[in-house]
Chains A and B, each alone.
Chain A
Amino acid sequence: MIYSLFNKTDLKYTLRLLAKKPGFTLLSVLVLAGGLGLSIFTFTFSYTMAYKPVDLPNGDSIVRICAGTRNSGCLPIKAFEFAAIRNEITTLDRIVALAGGGDVYVEFEGRAHRVIATHTEWTLFEVAQIEPMMGRALLPGDQEPGADPVTVIGHEIWQSLFDGDESILGSTINVRGINTRVVGIMPEGYKFPSTSQLWLPITDSLLQPIENGLTTVNPVATIREGESRASASSEMNRLMSRIRQLYPIDSNKEYSSQFQRYLDGVSSGHVTTLPQSLMGGLEGIVMTGVLNLLAGIVFLLACINVGTLLLARVNDRLKDISVRVALGAPRKRLMIQTMAESVAIAVLGGLLALLMAGGGMAILSVFISSAFEGGGSVPFWYSFGLNGSTLLAVIIFVGLTLLLTSAIPCWRIVNGDFNAVMRDGTRGALGLRSGRLSRSLVVVAIALISLLLYVGVLAGGSAIKMKEILSGVDGENLLGAALALDPERFPDDQRLQFFRSLNQSLSQDTGISNSLVYIPKGSVSVNTSSGQNIQATFTAVLGSLETFGATLQEGRRLTEIDSVGDQAVAVISRSLADRLWPDTSAVGQELLITSSESGNALSKRVVGVLDNRPLSGLFSGQFSLSPSTDAVFLPITLSDPNSASVLVKYSGESERAIAAVSRVLRSLDPQSDYFIRNWEQQLTGMFMAANYGMSIVIGCGLFAFLVAIAGIYGLTKNFVDLHIQDIGTRRALGATDRKISQTFVLRGSKQLVTGFVIATAIGIPLVYAILLVTGSSLVDGTMLAILAASIGTLFTVVFLAIVFPIREILKLEPSEALRHQ
């Protein structure tokens, strides 16, 4: 049957057609490969990041236990709450409490090295089902109180720190100032649960935590046989709701907005896969969605472009097809013949796309490895490359391409009145329908490319903005640590004393120049005398504001005395001072502020004005793409919460400073674990990532834009070409060249405006929704300028795509145009 529908002659005919117009074949293959390659690349990228099963023996059943909802992302659970519910969980087994993903410092041969460590129960290695390549995993006895400190190290640090020396096994290394024996070395690539390079037994404070303590855990587990992620999530949600009733949140405290969100979220719970746990909730879902939307648009554009090129081919071959119909060719056979050309182009395009996507993945892997210091902090499932899933994606994409690119030409075959073509060469109804289809395709292509512009400019703008903000953050010689003090051991007065002692102890170290303890508290409304309401960032601080690079321009700094007895004083930024008191000095003025979190109105006296360098929200995990320079700094008081952060400015070697800060923290609070963050290193990585993100978004966006522009040019040119006879007729009727150009430009403008209006109707709400979810106010002058320039380019291309072909047609004598078939 197939043989009769497609035989050797048909195959030869198809190949001859492809070879006859090599330019067309090459253009079709390239346009398709470009769109397809980009789609495959983006799909593989987001699949690897969010959906790829982790490469472990029972990877499918391993889940993270999270507080919060899916939209809030996977939040850590308070250790005491988890301890209260873990024995009641029935849908999961092999539950492991762990606290991981933080930096510890390993001192070796007089140098401190940053290593990502996980404090875990010994059962973690049972969940992973991966044996150490040398030595042993952690055992139950290792986490008993009073047990000898031991560690299992990863292959990466075994190679990078210890040069692969086997004698390290059994010997003692210094982990955060504690002599710790290496008992095992894990095989290459093992970083479970995510990016770990070193594993330590869980501490008692995590396993048997104090009630109402602030320490948190990130448990993992396997789903019990017969249960599902959905049933486990449902159970977790129920248990977390119950625990919230038992331990209600203290609403009298003024928590930071970030912490408040966390507290709001932890009344619920869910389980999720390891990759999903790092996707960041709704924001991650939106960003992945945006990325896939972009890829989808590019793919659709490529299909429309190729489909239109094939449609133009069918138009060219109308007479030929008409003869075949006259000779009795069944329409099925004609459709198969037309599809044969699509199959050849789709297969060639698919293969080229595969090569392009593979090349892109290879570059991505190299870049990510270098951006994240040799891959140390990259989750272990982030292996970007072509695999079975990618090949499956290619097959699906090629299949879809065939469907889309063949659908249009086949529509032409099925609906064409070939008798009319044979009879007199007039296009009649065919021309009308074809013209409508061609115009509709141009409108769809313009709508898609405009949508691409909206979302692409937003995505590219975010990456550019992030890079700008990161380059504005002074992370040089800066260390940081999050401080979550146990309320049992550190009640209100003790807490303030802890912060004060911390600053004092740090200042005694000759390598440390400044330190600052701070609590980000969201934003405040500042009321001006003229009734204006200004939103400013609000931070409680103790220590030197110069730590993050700010300089005092007027008045005095906040001192320790200001923190005692609530002195009602404030330091504000220059921009806020200028807006409030443009003609006079801000120092000595009364400031009326209203906290957006507590709603309390406070009157404060301004004692100093700082320059406009904002305290980056990055340092407190509240990175914003639209940071404000309007800032209010108040002294930390007794009523402030337990969670704070510290920034330390040092001179000399970072390793030495890190060791010094670790020692100070351990001396003040020996029972807690503090992770020190090297902001300089962190910012470099983030800057590289942002840079790469920017390059990838702009590169892909530009490529997509070019593909789309080429497509629109082709579509519009095809539309004009279809009207050569019409142009001849119009000229015969006395239309001047100018009049003809005007007519077609006007038509093109109608399509352009229609497409643009459709895209705007979809794009603006979409962009607004994205901005709402991501909480950024990105639309600034630069973004609008980029958008305007892109739209201008689009309009120009459509204009040129009409004017150039028309100019060519107008070179013909009217009689030639009239004779055109």
Chain B
Amino acid sequence: MVQNTLIELQAIEKVYSLETIETRALQNINLQIAQGEFVSIAGQSGCGKSTLLAIIGLLDVATSGTYLLAGHDASSIDRDERARLRNKEIGFVFQSFNLISDLTVYENIELPLTYRTDLHSEEIKEAVHESLEIVDMVSRKDHFPSQLSGGQQQRVAVARAIGGKPSMILADEPCGNLDSKNAESVMQLLERLHAEGTTICMVTHDPKSALRAERYVELFDGQIVSDELIVDQTRERVFQAQLAALGGHKLSNRL
């Protein structure tokens, strides 16, 4: 077992049933993530990355298998406790930002903190301002999400995720809707948070983003096909694979 294991998945399966059709989204997933790690989960579209992240983030439950969160069996905890854990221990960053359109930037960041009972209003205010400063959005705190660019919205989403100082941040394609400049800005934010000791688990299909993590997990058809620390060889392998895929695509276009 990895030292200070935060997340441990044992033989996780997830099956979606739609009328008579069963789709096996995840099969026999075994994964351990230690505290302070920066893990990227990569793979082709539909391979189960987001499903895996939803299970890790307690947004969904596995059909079978065991999920230990900080050593506690997460599958046996009730809805309210799951909500409390999501609020206190997990920060989410979504591809489509998922900011609440009726709330201002400030209110969006403040929102998860208002669900906590251990924070006073002054503490909440302080935490929101701190987060706004980190993502450099203080000047936009009274704007509504619709008044912001995609990059700005994602920075707000990051601020919201880190406001409560969670143990881990789960990011689902955080740069998927952003241009390269904004994507870089978000990636730098995540790296900075990781450097400060936050565990980060990021789902992405972008190899460039994936390789900025320290560990690379690759999924194919709902199964982990690769799990390795990112070293130069990893970068080389992923680059070659990407090149081959790109070449194949070009070839198929020509045909």
- Cα of A2 to Cα of B183 in the assembled complex, Å: 48
Cβ-based interface call for A60 (8 A): no
Q: Is the CB of A435 within 8 A of B102?
A: yes
Closest A residue to B57 by beta carbon equals A732
Q: Is the CB of A815 within 8 A of B54?
A: yes
Contacts of B100 in A (CB 8 A): 726, 729-730
Q: Is the CB of A725 within 8 A of B79?
A: no
- Cα of A730 to Cα of B96 in the assembled complex, Å: 15
Closest A residue to B53 by beta carbon equals A815
Closest B residue to A434 by beta carbon equals B101
Q: Is the CB of A734 within 8 A of B84?
A: yes
Interface stretch, picked from B26-34, B36-44, B87-95, B192-200, is B87-95
- Cα of A213 to Cα of B2 in the assembled complex, Å: 116
Closest A residue to B144 by beta carbon equals A432
Cβ-based interface call for A407 (8 A): no
Q: Is the CB of B79 within 8 A of A733?
A: no
- Cα of A560 to Cα of B54 in the assembled complex, Å: 99
- Cα of A739 to Cα of B149 in the assembled complex, Å: 30
Contacts of A814 in B (CB 8 A): 54, 59-60, 86
Interface string of A722-741 (1 = CB under 8 A from B): 00011011111111111100
Closest B residue to A725 by beta carbon equals B98
Contacts of B57 in A (CB 8 A): 732
Closest B residue to A737 by beta carbon equals B79
Cβ-based interface call for B151 (8 A): no
B interface, size bucket: 35 or more
Closest A residue to B91 by beta carbon equals A733
Closest B residue to A426 by beta carbon equals B96
Q: Is the CB of B146 within 8 A of A432?
A: yes
Interface string of A424-435 (1 = CB under 8 A from B): 111111011001
Contacts of A731 in B (CB 8 A): 59, 83, 86
Closest A residue to B160 by beta carbon equals A733
Q: Is the CB of B84 within 8 A of A736?
A: yes
Cβ-based interface call for B112 (8 A): yes
Closest A residue to B79 by beta carbon equals A737
Q: Is the CB of A426 within 8 A of B97?
A: yes
Interface string of B147-171 (1 = CB under 8 A from A): 0001000000000100010000000
Contacts of A426 in B (CB 8 A): 96-97
- Cα of A732 to Cα of B97 in the assembled complex, Å: 12
Contacts of B48 in A (CB 8 A): none
Q: Is the CB of A428 within 8 A of B101?
A: yes
Cβ-based interface call for B66 (8 A): no
Contacts of B97 in A (CB 8 A): 426
Cβ-based interface call for A797 (8 A): no
Closest A residue to B92 by beta carbon equals A732
Closest B residue to A425 by beta carbon equals B96
- Cα of A723 to Cα of B41 in the assembled complex, Å: 30
Q: Is the CB of A429 within 8 A of B101?
A: yes
Closest A residue to B87 by beta carbon equals A734
Contacts of A730 in B (CB 8 A): 100, 111
- In chain B between 67 and 108, which residues have their CB closer than 8 angstroms to a CB of chain A? 79-80, 83-88, 90, 92, 94-102
**16 contacts across the A-B interface (CB closer than 8 A):** A428-B145, A431-B101, A431-B146, A432-B102, A432-B146, A726-B101, A730-B100, A732-B98, A733-B87, A733-B111, A734-B115, A734-B116, A735-B87, A736-B83, A736-B115, A815-B59
A: residues with CB less than 8 A from B are 423-429, 431-432, 435, 725-726, 728-739, 813-816, 818
Closest 4 CB pairs of A and B: A734-B87, A429-B146, A815-B54, A733-B112
Besides A734-B85, A739-B115, A814-B54, 7 other A-B contacts (C-beta < 8 A): A732-B59, A734-B116, A735-B87, A735-B112, A815-B50, A815-B51, A818-B59
